[in-house]
Amino acid sequence: MNKIFSILIIILFSQFQLLNAIAASDGEVEISSKKSDGQKVVKDCFETVNRGIFAFNQGLDKALFKPLAKGYRKLPQPIRSGTSNALNNLGNVVTIPNNILQGQIKDASMNSLRFIINSTLGIAGIFDVASYYGIEKRDREDYGQTLGALGVGEGCYFVLPVLGPTTVRDSIGSLANVAGGDAWYNVTVANNTQYFNESDYYFTRVLSGVDFRAKNLEAFDSLENTSIDLYASIRSLYLQDRQRKIENIDQATETMSDEDWEEID
């Protein structure tokens, strides 16, 4: 098992270096990204192409995801909460291994306990029984975050069709899901089981997107209406969010560098 894991990590890292080398050849725009040890830059290597894909995604959002999210919003609150709970519960199958990889043993235990309780007593995660018993929800973790926690840099920032903003590191992290790191993917797509179909996986992925979009309808509209460069705003928000998640920061005081404000008096 250890050997397989090591090979996987090596493959991931070599892919990362290759992608990074290719991507970095076109780097122009620098984005500041605060880290506890000072400022660093994240390059938007293919900005022209990225802006094109971003425009395509915006069109797709207007034509498909936004109307779907609006329709989803019309469902009764208990149905939406139940859906959201079930999707969150399913997310634990990726969070738990990443808790372990990051050495968060307590979080891994608590998430495992939550997963067991909610999957059984909570009927496939629809009801968050674990929270009722005082086992509170914890932050989600993914392989991109684990790579970040291990010290792997973001690499280039880019935008994927349909999936949206990402970095080289986060994309490689996502590949780990389909390389055996996501138990839900394994039982639906990777292996033939009599209980689940491939479509179940894709359905939950789309549903997660719609659920997220529905929760943020007003916030997205507001951002769109008040932004003078929406692409740059989304890029900034994405990178800030990833940084915060990788560093597992909960307090605003830890995320911000006062150096940023020093020159303003």
Partner 1 sequence: MKILKLVLVIFVSFLSSNISLAKNPSDLINDIVNEASLILKSSDPVESKIIKLNDIAERSVDINGIGMYALGKHKKSMSEDEKTKYKKLFKSYFLKSFSSRLVDYTDPKINVVSQKKINEKYTIVNSILEATSKRPQVKIDWRIYTKNPDKPLIRDLIVEGLSLARTQKEEFNSVIQNNDGNLNSLFKTLEEFLIK
Site residues (CB under 8 A) for partner 1? Answer: 29, 31-32, 34, 47, 73, 77, 215-219, 222, 225-229, 231-233, 235-237, 240-241, 244, 249-253, 255-256, 258, 260-261, 263-265
Give whichever of 87 and 232 is closer to partner 1, judged by the CB atom. 232
Give whichever of 84 and 95 is closer to partner 1, judged by the CB atom. 84
Q: How far is the CB of 194 from partner 1 (least distance, A)?
A: 36
- What single-letter DSSP state applies at residue 127? S
SS3 per residue for 49-118: HHHHHHHHHHHHHHHHHHHHHHHHHCCCHHHHHHHHHHHHHHHHHHHHHHHHHCCCHHHHHHHHHHHHHH
Neighbours of 243 (CB within 10 A): 19
Give whichever of 18 and 256 is closer to partner 1, judged by the CB atom. 256
Question: Which H or E run contains 135?
Answer: none
Q: How far is the CB of 32 from partner 1 (least distance, A)?
A: 7
Question: Pick from 79, 92, 88: which is nearest to 128 by CA?
Answer: 88
Q: What are the backbone angles phi and psi of residue 41, rounded to the nearest 5°? A: -120, 145
**CA of 151: how far to CAs of 47, 101, 144, 145, 172, in Å?**
25, 13, 11, 10, 14
Q: How far is the CB of 237 from partner 1 (least distance, A)?
A: 5
Q: How far is the CB of 131 from partner 1 (least distance, A)?
A: 13
3-state secondary structure of 264: coil
Give whichever of 105 and 256 is closer to partner 1, judged by the CB atom. 256
SS3 per residue for 176-238: HHHHHHCHHHHHHHHCCCCCCCHHHHHHHHHHHHHHHHHHCHHHHHHHHHHCCCHHHHHHHHH
Question: Pick from 142, 145, 242: which is nearest to 182 by CA?
Answer: 142
Give whichever of 109 and 140 is closer to partner 1, judged by the CB atom. 140
Give whichever of 63 and 256 is closer to partner 1, judged by the CB atom. 256
Give whichever of 191 and 253 is closer to partner 1, judged by the CB atom. 253
Kindly give, in sequence order, each residue whose CB lies less than 8 Å from that of residue 97, ignoring residues fewer than 6 positions away: 181
β partners of residue 6 = none
Q: How far is the CB of 38 from partner 1 (least distance, A)?
A: 15
Q: How far is the CB of 26 from partner 1 (least distance, A)?
A: 15
Q: How far is the CB of 250 from partner 1 (least distance, A)?
A: 8
